[in-house]
Amino acid sequence: MTKPSPIKSLLIFFGALVILGIVFSAINLNAPKPAAIDLGTLARQITNGEVKAVTVKDSTLNIVTNDKKDEVASKEGGESFTSVMKNLGVTDDKLAAIDLKVANASAFSNWMSVMLPIVLPILAIGVLVLFMMRSVQGQNSRAMSFGQSGAREYGKNDKNRLTFGDVAGAAEAKEELMEIVEFLKSPKKFVAVGAKIPKGVLLMGPPGTGKTLMARAVAGEANVPFFHISGSEFVEMFVGVGAARVRDLFARAKKSAPCIIFIDEIDAVGRQRGAGLGGSHDEREQTLNQILVEMDGFDPSIGIIVMAATNRPDVLDPALLRPGRFDRRVTLDLPDINEREMILKIHAKSKPLVAELPLRKVAERTPGFSGADLANVMNEAAILTARKNRKTIELDDILMSIEKVMLGPERRSRVINEKEKNIVAYHEAGHALVFHEMPEADPVQKISIIARGHAGGYTLKMPLEDKRLHPKSAFIADLAGSLGGYVAEVEAFGEANVTTW
């Protein structure tokens, strides 16, 4: 919840005072007021026996007549009521016939009547000054925190703590990082035999392969604090701020050692200097220099490991990659079929699947998908199930979600005339026939003439197993299948009627 600004709070305060004043004024205006009379009229009423009671309060006379009417009169403050009435010709027996009361004002009311006109303006001015001071203090605090790092810290007892069990696949990467975990748990064991654990670990791989997830899992396995910050958060328009934030980050980490500092997308500040990549930027280069200095400046025995992630290791500055800095590099590739099945099982834990749903079949239909893509597929399947008002996720829901992630949602409402429908049907059939006749091509899984995303129709082919090496014949088969749609249009409608499809 955002905190209201001091000016807004001040306006609300004075607005409330105005509203209260209006309310009390309306109440006072609507209340019946006693009739005001002069002293001569009062003397005449007393003489005629029309007055029942008189209450004297300072210089105010509250009068009650015999017919129960309320009246009010005023006298001079220095004289008593009886002397005033006698001067106006009222006899003692007439004064004795009325109920005369004298109400002395309390010391508190006297004090309030004197002090309120002084205190209320001072109070209003004090509130105004208080809000102004709070506003200035807030600006000063933001100015003082400008050079502080915005790293998010996850503690040892964080309820969302991850371990290697929460990361499916990447067995080699886990084995490589297990040394880091052992060092964080017991650094003295390594120092005793003269071993130097790397200060920096660079996680490399395509987007969505779980680099951040793996870094958090290392911290969870070692049960140490985890500082997470993006490389772009160091860079500001003011030169020197990024370097100050780097110093602050490492100072915080030294207080929490042993711990892990994780810099996501380090290529935002770690680009190669002087190579013309990304243009000249003094602030970025100063930030990079400060990172290099800090990594050289701390003793590895205190238990700080700097981890960074990038999907563009080719643009990083060589000074970052030399021994003593990010000299341990761990590659996270796209998952194979077995790893995809394990990832799907993790993402399916919190989702109601039908009994014995073959996730292996889903893994076969998703070659080249990253862990993030698979998580998106399972989420889209859950959304599709909810839209159909069902309680469990079926295989068809997941397969439809795969196509949605790859090509976009179906566009059944798109208006297409009969001629264009025939062209699309022949075009997709041409793709499918050529792919089917080419033994080196992947088998066709589905043909559709329903528009999806930017495609008016599509032919979906999938390999039966993961492939790391692609022969020349496979590329020729793909080229032939891609031209199959064109050939089918020529054969069916003539070369003059070939479309842009």
Tens-place pLDDT, residues 147-180: 455 566 666 666 677 888 888 888 888 888 888 8
- How confident is the model over 182-188, as a mean pLDDT? 79
- Average pLDDT, rounded, for the chain: 78
Q: Are residues 288 and 384 in the same domain?
A: no
How many domains, the chain? Answer: 4
Q: Are residues 347 and 456 in the same domain?
A: no
Which residue in 428, 437, 440, 491 is the catalytic one? 428
Residue 21 belongs to a domain: no
Q: Are residues 161 and 238 in the same domain?
A: yes
Q: Are residues 392 and 433 in the same domain?
A: no
Largest CA distance in the chain: 135
Residue 16 belongs to a domain: no
Residue 138 belongs to a domain: no
Active site residue 428: yes
Surface-to-core class of residue 417, CB atoms within 10 Å of its CB (0-12 exposed, 13-18 middle, 19+ buried): exposed
Beta strands at 51-57 and 99-102: parallel, antiparallel or unpaired: parallel
Question: Which domain covers residue 440, as residue numbers?
Answer: 418-497
**The pLDDT value given to residue 139:** 47
Q: Are residues 291 and 388 in the same domain?
A: no
- How confident is the model over 125-136, as a mean pLDDT? 69
Q: What is the pLDDT of residues 345-378, one digit of tens each?
A: 988 888 888 888 888 888 888 888 888 889 999 9
Q: To which residue do tokens 């670990």 refer? A: 201
More confident residue, 268 or 473: 473
- How confident is the model over 279-306, as a mean pLDDT? 71
Q: What is the pLDDT of residues 60-83, one digit of tens each?
A: 777 788 777 778 787 776 677 778
CATH code of the domain covering residue 431? 1.20.58.760
CATH code of the domain covering residue 386? 1.10.8.60
Cα–Cα distance, 248 to 9 (Å, whole number): 34
Closest CA to 63 of 78, 45, 76: 45
Residue 4 belongs to a domain: no
309 to each of 211, 234, 260, how far by Cα in Å? 6, 15, 13
Report percent pLDDT > 90 for the chain: 6
**The pLDDT value given to residue 143:** 43
**The pLDDT value given to residue 1:** 45
Q: Are residues 249 and 160 in the same domain?
A: yes
Q: Are residues 234 and 308 in the same domain?
A: yes
Residue 366 belongs to a domain: yes
Q: Are residues 295 and 343 in the same domain?
A: no
Residue 196 belongs to a domain: no
Q: Are residues 175 and 286 in the same domain?
A: yes
Helices 211-222 and 171-185, packing angle to 10 deg: 40
- How confident is the model over 457-465, as a mean pLDDT? 82
In the listed set 102, 121, 142, which residue is the last one of a domain according to the structure?
Answer: 102
Q: In 335-428, which ranges are E strands?
A: none
Token couple for 238:
């003011």
In the listed set 357, 383, 407, which residue is the last one of a domain according to the structure?
Answer: 407
**The pLDDT value given to residue 434:** 92
In the listed set 368, 383, 407, which residue is the last one of a domain according to the structure?
Answer: 407
Q: Are residues 354 and 248 in the same domain?
A: no
Q: What is the pTM of this model?
A: 0.62
Whether pLDDT at 119 is above 80? no
Q: Are residues 478 and 344 in the same domain?
A: no
Q: Are residues 286 and 355 in the same domain?
A: no
Token couple for 443:
């088998």
Which range, 87-96, 249-258, 314-323, 485-494, is most confident? 485-494
